[in-house]
Chain A
């Protein structure tokens, strides 16, 4: 049996997103995502004030079509959850009124 080296600690995976609690504010939009691929669909995104568009996925919701999120199109939300590699996992959201200071 070979002698083992010291334990590696957390070996990690550079490709695996670690859950990181986060909070975003922006306006909900429904847009085409993953165009031309097998995941091509109209997805729900959050348009942030800095111009980024972050795909949203609601915990427990269907990742391809979530009527609950779609119904919020055009509204300003504060979403709380986890920023992951290709989407934001929404665990909680709050609908804001347009005069809350959001640029959406």
Chain B
């Protein structure tokens, strides 16, 4: 099977009524037909119907869906059908996200709502350490929590059905937006992804009013502040945090087929608009409603380093880079996750949260950029030979590789275990002046420590954060992540005060 759309009919019917569900069925039927024309065999599975789940030996998700049941259902469907793409139909009040424990200490997030576990073979857990090796291509076509009319969902299904890949040249330009204080980091991300010629807008002074021409490029990279239940992203200069982009300001200005990566805290949180002051939709949903093909962002507070690129910067740029090579949006995120996790000997708590919190909104089978095959693929003989299977065979090979990569990561990346371990004297001696030089008063810092299970010698990660304002506010507050091994300081990095 190529693509499996996971549906909870009871939850959808509770929101939209029988007539709404009927419209959704019709829209999905069209999606299946359009997918077939693209060479994708799509199957709809109602996870709350025993008549559909039992033949697949999959457990039925109860009438009131919960993440544990949904995870078990998806795992069973993966085993039974091995789809190349999983689509979760609906927002978190239709198909719940897994509420993972927050590995980053004291940042205000009680947990990390995540779709990552659904992309992994490990059994249900709320421990993010269990989900280090994603193997599945998965994305979510959201609706709005609290909605009573299905029009948005119908619109997104229709947009997925009508989607057409575009030539790479249609993605040559980009829209880059950064909080002014993070411009060096964002510039580096843009250079890595699009090359140095692409412009970068800074807030302040730019935004929040954007013209259609300014937003016209199909690749968007946004590195701004975001807040929970908020329909704006924010820039920063000193202690000034002006609006950089608003949901209302995006409406009607997005080019169909656009692809977005937003590093912002809560940048892809899907919430009931009634919770927002503005009453507007989340920016991520507004982008999709305006025709964006894919939006990758965070459900919670996100992280970046003090200089250069790291954490959120990396997973976002890896995703866009893969899209530009012609990957489907879902494969692009899976490869970005694997690249992000695989580049490290271990994931510290901040990177662990990063891996868990970024997810894909949009149909993961959509391929924004046309893949340019080798010359033989353009011959009649080649087309005849693969007319029946189209891309399916090669896609299967790619999935085989991605599964292997994911399993290797799951097997080889060590877990973190919270420990009450004081840093070795040599570590304290080295870190204390670093804290001072970073504008932190060591006495006011909280420390949280984690043992890297299975690492050689005894490797412990210590995170130092301050609960008081920085000694010198112009230095910007920050955290230090220090890695100790065998009683010596092995590595240290400073998290950017964003």
Chain A residues engaging chain B, CB cutoff 8 angstroms: 1-17, 19, 30-42, 55, 57, 59-60, 62-65, 84-87
**How many pairs of A and B residues are in contact by the CB < 8 Å rule?**
176
Task: Choose among B10, B13, B228 the residue that contacts A87 (Cβ–Cβ < 8 A).
Answer: B228
- List chain B residues, Cβ under 8 A from A30: 469
Contact A39 B498, CB 8 Å, known A4-B10, A7-B14? yes
CB proximity to A under 8 Å, residues B11-49: 11, 13-15, 18, 21, 25, 46, 48-49
Task: Choose among B13, B111, B350, B478 the residue that contacts A4 (Cβ–Cβ < 8 A).
Answer: B13
Q: How far is the CA of A7 from the CA of B96 in the complex (A)?
A: 17
Establish whether residues A38 and B92, one from each chain, have CB atoms under 8 Å apart when the complex forms: no
Q: How far is the CA of A10 from the CA of B13 in the complex (A)?
A: 10
**Nearest CB in chain B to that of A67: its residue:** B239
Interface centre among B110, B274, B477 (most CB of A within 10 A): B477
Establish whether residues A86 and B228, one from each chain, have CB atoms under 8 Å apart when the complex forms: yes
Establish whether residues A8 and B264, one from each chain, have CB atoms under 8 Å apart when the complex forms: no
Interface string of B376-388 (1 = CB under 8 A from A): 0000000000000
Quote the shortest CB–CB distance from A60 to chain B (angstroms). Answer: 6
**Nearest CB in chain A to that of B478: its residue:** A36
B465 at the A interface (CB under 8 A): yes
Q: How far is the CA of A85 from the CA of B477 in the complex (A)?
A: 24
Contact A11 B14, CB 8 Å, known A32-B477, A64-B234? yes
B405 at the A interface (CB under 8 A): no
- Which A-B residue pairs are the 8 nearest by beta carbons? A36-B479, A38-B498, A64-B241, A63-B227, A35-B465, A36-B495, A8-B10, A11-B11
B290 at the A interface (CB under 8 A): no
Q: How far is the CA of A84 from the CA of B272 in the complex (A)?
A: 13
Establish whether residues A37 and B277, one from each chain, have CB atoms under 8 Å apart when the complex forms: no
Establish whether residues B228 and A9, one from each chain, have CB atoms under 8 Å apart when the complex forms: no
Task: Report the count of interface residues on B (CB-CB < 8 A).
Answer: 77
Interface centre among A1, A5, A7, A85 (most CB of B within 10 A): A5
- Stretch in contact with the other chain, from B59-67, B158-166, B416-424: B59-67
- Known contacts A35-B478, A37-B495, then 15 further A-B pairs from the complex at CB < 8 Å, ordered by chain A residue: A2-B49, A5-B49, A7-B10, A10-B14, A11-B10, A14-B67, A35-B466, A35-B467, A36-B350, A36-B463, A36-B497, A38-B303, A42-B239, A42-B469, A55-B108
Quote the shortest CB–CB distance from A4 to chain B (angstroms). Answer: 5
Task: Choose among B8, B109, B477 the residue that contacts A86 (Cβ–Cβ < 8 A).
Answer: B109
Task: Choose among A4, A8, A32, A37 the residue that contacts B64 (Cβ–Cβ < 8 A).
Answer: A8
Q: How far is the CA of A60 from the CA of B92 in the complex (A)?
A: 26
B301 at the A interface (CB under 8 A): yes
Interface string of B75-115 (1 = CB under 8 A from A): 00000000000000001111011010000101111110100
Task: Choose among A13, A38, A65 the residue that contacts B304 (Cβ–Cβ < 8 A).
Answer: A38
B275 at the A interface (CB under 8 A): yes
Q: How far is the CA of A34 from the CA of B48 in the complex (A)?
A: 39
Contact A16 B63, CB 8 Å, known A31-B469, A65-B240? no
Establish whether residues A34 and B14, one from each chain, have CB atoms under 8 Å apart when the complex forms: no
B474 at the A interface (CB under 8 A): no
Contact A4 B9, CB 8 Å, known A14-B67, A16-B145, A55-B108? yes
A-B residue pairs in contact (CB < 8 Å), sample of 15: A6-B10, A8-B8, A8-B63, A9-B64, A12-B93, A13-B92, A15-B96, A31-B469, A35-B106, A37-B265, A37-B498, A38-B265, A57-B227, A65-B239, A86-B109
